[in-house]
């Protein structure tokens, strides 16, 4: 299995009505050096300034970003060239991140290479420590900056810690 940690930044709460502005991905392995980053031109005229501000970009900047179909094709090609077996989409907020990646893959490419499921890093940690009130975020080494590459690396570091130090049985 190949675990791909994904993080997205958007200008609103749902795909189609709002846009995925940028996203990052890293293959979870010992090196964490296989990354992908994409910036996407908005697909909607609607946007929420407070939501966009989280990404650190202005609306004018996002209007200069790449065509979403081109970016999703590059992401698909990156997945194909770096992954040999079953893909596992994992995120610290998969309910949010998954909906955008899934929508964009289906809308622009007609298919999602991740299939129809995803894994939530936070839920995995809660099960590992047997306490639904606990949070994994203290396990990150890389600061959560809302730069998707920083965020996926920090989340992958947390997952690696769960494996190495806490006994999580996971193969990567």
Task: Report pLDDT for 51.
Answer: 96
118 part of a folded domain: yes
CB 102 within 8 A of CB 54: no
pLDDT at 42: 98
- In terms of residue numbers, what domain contains 75? 2-166
Is 171 inside a domain boundary?
no
Residue 62 sits in a domain whose CATH number is 3.30.420.10
pLDDT at res. 84: 81
CB atoms within 10 A of CB 100: 22
Cross-strand pairs, 113: none
- Give the count of domains, the chain: 1
Q: Assign 7 to helix, strand or coil.
A: strand
Q: What is the DSSP string of 158-172?
A: HHHHHHHHH------
pLDDT tens per residue, the chain (172 residues)? 899 999 999 999 999 999 999 999 999 998 999 999 999 999 999 999 999 999 999 999 999 999 999 999 999 999 999 998 789 999 999 999 999 999 999 999 999 999 999 999 999 999 999 999 999 999 999 999 999 999 999 999 999 999 999 999 998 8
Q: Which residue, chain included where needed, has tokens 């200069």?
A: 64
Q: What's the pLDDT at 85? A: 78
Is residue 90 a part of any domain in this protein? yes
Q: Which residues contact 11 (CB under 8 A, 6 or more apart)?
A: 18, 19, 21, 42, 47, 48, 51, 52, 55, 59, 62
Q: Is residue 51 part of a domain?
A: yes
C-alpha 157/C-alpha 86 separation (Å) is 21
Residue 172 falls inside a structural domain? no
Residue 56, token pair as written in the block: 């650190």
Specify the pLDDT at position 58. 97
């Amino acid at each position: 299995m190949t675990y791909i940690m994904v993080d997205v930044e958007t200008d609103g709460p749902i795909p189609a009505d709002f846009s995925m502005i940028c996203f990052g991905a890293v293959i979870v392995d010992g090196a964490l050096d296989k990354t992908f980053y994409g910036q996407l031109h908005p697909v909607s005229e609607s946007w929420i300034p407070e939501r966009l501000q989280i990404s650190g970009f202005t609306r004018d900047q996002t209007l200069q970003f790449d065509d979403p179909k081109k970016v999703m094709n590059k992401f698909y090609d990156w997945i194909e060239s770096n992954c040999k077996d079953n893909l596992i989409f994992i995120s610290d907020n998969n309910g949010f991140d998954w909906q955008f990646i899934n929508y964009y893959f289906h809308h622009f490419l007609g298919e999602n290479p991740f299939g129809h499921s995803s894994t939530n890093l936070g839920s995995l940690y809660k099960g590992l420590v047997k306490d639904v009130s606990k949070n994994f975020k203290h396990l990150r080494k890389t600061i959560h900056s809302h730069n998707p590459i920083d965020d996926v690396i920090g989340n992958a570091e947390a997952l690696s810690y769960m494996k190495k130090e806490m006994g999580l049985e996971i193969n990567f």
